[in-house]
Amino acid sequence: MAKVTLGGIEVEIDEDGFIQEPDKWNKEVAEDLAKVEQAYPMGEDHWKLVNYLRDYYLKYEIAPPIRMLVKQTGLDLKTIYQLFPGGPAKGACKVAGLPKPTGCV
């Protein structure tokens, strides 16, 4: 798998650009990923989403269901797609450094 430089450090990513070394994720990595996902510069709502995803994942080891995401962040799906044109799964989860979603989100 490819290695790329994100946030100044070298990180392994898969073909879809999801990072393969979850421990290396940080704010800067996120911002560089956001560039790829047309979600840069990241505003408050971007971070709200990304942080929520990340916290949820760290707590439960899974990505939250969309319904939960919408309810908890107060951002509706339309807005989420505006913030992350790739959508919650391809866009926001990638930026949040989560494993590539297979089901929910």
Partner 1 sequence: MADETPLLDELEKGPWPSYVKEIKRAAKKNKASKDLLGIQELSYKDRITHWKHGGIVGVTGYGSGVIGRYCDSPEKFPDAAAFHTFRVNHPAGWFYSTKALRKICDIWEKYGSGMTNFHGSTGDIILLGAPTENLQPCFDTLTENGFDLGGSGSALRTISGCVGKARCEWANIDTLDIVRDFTSEFQDEIHRPRWPYKFKIKASGCPNDCVAAIARADFTIIGTWKDTLRIDQAAVKNYAENGFDVKGLVVDKCPTDALEWDEKTKTLTLRAEDCVRCMHCINKMTKAIRPGVDTGATILIGSKAPIIKGAYLSWVLIPFIKIEPPYNEIKELLRKIWDWWDENGRTRERLAELIERKGFKTFLREMGIPPVPQMIYKPRANPYVFF
Partner 2 sequence: MGRTDIGPPDYREMLPDVIKKNYGKWKYHETPRPGVLRHVSETGDEIYTVRVGSPRLVSIDFVRDLCDIADKYCDGHLRFTSRFNVEFITDSKAKADGVIAEVNKLGLPVGGTGNSISNIVHTQGWIHCHSAATDASGLVKSVMDELYDYFTNMKLPAYVRIAVACCINMCGAIHCSDLAIVGVHRRPPKVDNEKIIAQCEIPTTIQSCPTGAIRRHPDPNVKSVIVREDLCMYCANCFTVCPAMPLADPVGDGVAIYVGGKVSNARKPPMFSRMVVPFLPNNPPRWPEVVDVIKKIVEVYADNARKYERMGEWIERIGWEKFFKLTEIPFTEQHIDDFTHAIETYRTTTQFKW
Write out the catalytic residue numbers: 104
Amino acid identity for residue 83 in this structure: L
20 scored as a contact of partner 2 (CB under 8 A)? yes
Centre a 10 Å sphere on the Cβ of residue 85 and count the other Cβ atoms it contains: 12
- Token couple for 12: 């392994």
Centre a 10 Å sphere on the Cβ of residue 73 and count the other Cβ atoms it contains: 18
Omega prior to 64 cis, within 30 of 0: no
**Span of 18-26, 29-37, 46-54, 72-80 interacting with partner 2 by CB under 8 A:** 18-26
Given the rule CB under 8 A, which residues bind partner 1?
A: 15-16, 18, 38, 62, 65-67, 70, 77-78, 81, 85-90, 100-104
Given the rule CB under 8 A, which residues bind partner 2?
A: 14, 18-22, 57, 60-63, 99-100, 102-104
